[in-house]
Amino acid sequence: MLGLPIEDPVPLRLADVGEHPRSYGFPPGHPPMGNFLGVPIVIRGQAWGNLYLTEKPGADFDEADEQTALVLAEWTAIAVDNARLYADMGKQRDSLERAVRGLEATTEVTRAVGGETDLSLILETIAKRGRALVEARSLLILLEDAGELRVTAAAGEFEDHSDLRLTVAGSAPGQVFKSLQPSRLRDLDSALLSESDSLGMGGESLLVPLVFRGKSVGVLVALDPLAGGSEFGLESEQVLGSFAASAATAVATAQSAAEVSVRNSIEAAERERGRWARELHDESLQSLAGLRVVLSAARRSGNPDDVDRLLSQAVEQVDSTIAEMRRLIADLRPATLDELGLAAALEALVERLRWGDVLDVKLRVELATDATGNPIRFLGQIEDSVYRLVQEALTNVVKHAGIDRARVEVIEVDDEIRVSIGDRGQGFVTGASSDGFGLLGMHERVVLAGGTLAVTSEPETGTTITAKLPADHRADAR
């Protein structure tokens, strides 16, 4: 079985290694082996051995395990190849250290993607680790953008080159991008298409493509080696090439996450607009239509008593429509939030709900104030986020909890604003798919503001939404 990945150098994943036709049982005293994952170690196109794992507890090996094993096998191949290349022990050790550093850098990039979908942070990590890996003076990441290659991140010198664009057709990085082949150049500047593309860099450069699923997403450009002479060697090319494979996956993952998130925000905004349109239609337009009926009746009637009665009825209706419009406007953009700050806006929100007999909210707000008792204002985005979070959570209590009371706390502790909205209503099963955009929108808003959100809910015991946001104060706040 262990010869198989060498004869046919592709990954092999099995739920039970004993079931495979090539298996003829284990030698006496061999430990048990159930599930199996083997990947070939390929050096210069030839399989030299394999790396295998067995007995994964709890579940079979999956696609992610296979990818990880492939990365490990690739770095193993580089280490083995270099060890065979250098007879001298000192050089062997250096090259082994380099391979280990490469693997570490790759792992860090992979880990960064695990929790991070912010493309610019991922690019920064890739640029810094890639530069250290090949010991270059600078490293640029060029990503494809509408037919051009744009410098999207840089480490070392050239950090201010962020708006530079190169044409794909004709330029050396464009060639690497199209051919998916790495290249080493003596003088990058002269290989660029036009004067305006100039990087101001005449030194040695190493270019490797960022390839994800067989397609280029960009190019890594390492400029000017700092150690080991004036050229990037074959080893640097290999090391940066392997690193680029993982980096490309990271970039592609973050790019698609960013797209999904934009789509979700647009959908959420669309939903919110739909909701206001409905409210305007159902409440305000209906009462204006009612007013029209009353006024026409008054015009038709010849009897002064009737006209009097109808006109007072109309005035009443106008009053209630004005109140209705005020409520809508306050919901859309609470004036108190701009003028008086978060605490006052939350009090007004709670007051409106109590007044309409909609919901009885116990509110506790503890936010810093200055010596005269005025609030020390937070950044607009933070105040908006907290307000909208509380507003949506309370709307949900009214709509779904089946109860008429709730509790809200907004408390500033150290550098954090801790928000909690709780009800003892009927609760729901969290994580189940829902049609709503409320919870999704809450989550996005809080994350965009640099915070975290947690929803706990159990049928019968109720729902609690907690969030932590950075207590970032406005620049003019003292």
Find, among 116, 18, 115, 12, the residue nearest to 65 by Cα: 12
One residue of 121, 297, 318, 439 binding ligand ATP per CB under 6 A: 439
Q: Does 396 bind Mg ion (CB under 5 A)?
A: yes
Q: What is the CA radius of gyration of the chain?
A: 32
- Determine contact, residues 469/410, Cβ cutoff 8 Å: no
Q: Which residue stretch of 58-66, 238-246, 418-426, 470-478 sits at the interface with ligand ATP (rule: CB under 6 A)?
A: 418-426
Instruction: State whether residue 294 is helix, strand or coil.
Output: helix
Of the two residues 194 and 434, which places its CB atom closer to ligand ATP in the complex?
434
Cα angle 38, 40, 46; round to 5: 165
CB nearer Mg ion, residue 298 or residue 440: 440
Residue ranges in 256-315 that form contacts with ligand ATP under rule CB under 6 A: 271
Nearer to ligand ATP, 435 or 476 (CB): 435
**Is 422 among the residues that bind ligand ATP (CB under 6 A)?**
no
Measured distance CA(102)–CA(237) in Å, rounded: 12
* C-alpha to C-alpha distance for 51 and 39, rounded to whole angstroms: 5
**434 binding ligand ATP? (CB under 6 A):** yes
CB atoms within 10 A of CB 71: 21
Q: Which residues contact residue 92 at a Cβ distance below 8 angstroms, ignoring those fewer than 6 apart? A: 82, 83, 86
Nearer of residues 309 and 327 to ligand ATP, judged by Cβ: 327
- Please check whether residue 284 is in contact with residue 327, taking contact to mean a CB–CB distance below 8 angstroms: no
Q: Which does 215 bind (CB under 5 to 8 A by kind): ligand ATP, Mg ion, none?
A: none
463 is a contact residue toward Mg ion (CB under 5 A):
no
Q: How far is the CB of 202 from ligand ATP (least distance, A)?
A: 57
Residue 173 is a binding residue for Mg ion (CB under 5 A) = no
Extract the tokens encoding 173.
Answer: 């990085």
> Least distance from C-beta 403 to ligand ATP, angstroms?
8
Which residue among 427, 449, 467, 468 contacts ligand ATP (CB under 6 A)? 427
Contact 235, 199 (CB under 8 A): no
CB of residue 457 vs Mg ion: minimum separation in angstroms?
13
- In sequence order, the β-bridge partners of residue 474 are none
Q: Binding of ligand ATP at residue 461 (CB under 6 A)?
A: no
Alpha helices in 86-196 (DSSP H): 89-115, 119-134, 172-179, 188-191
Question: How far apart are CB 461 and Mg ion at their closest, in Å?
Answer: 20
- Interface with ligand ATP by CB under 6 A: which residues? 271, 396-397, 399-401, 423, 425-428, 434-440, 463
- Interface with Mg ion by CB under 5 A: which residues? 396, 436, 438
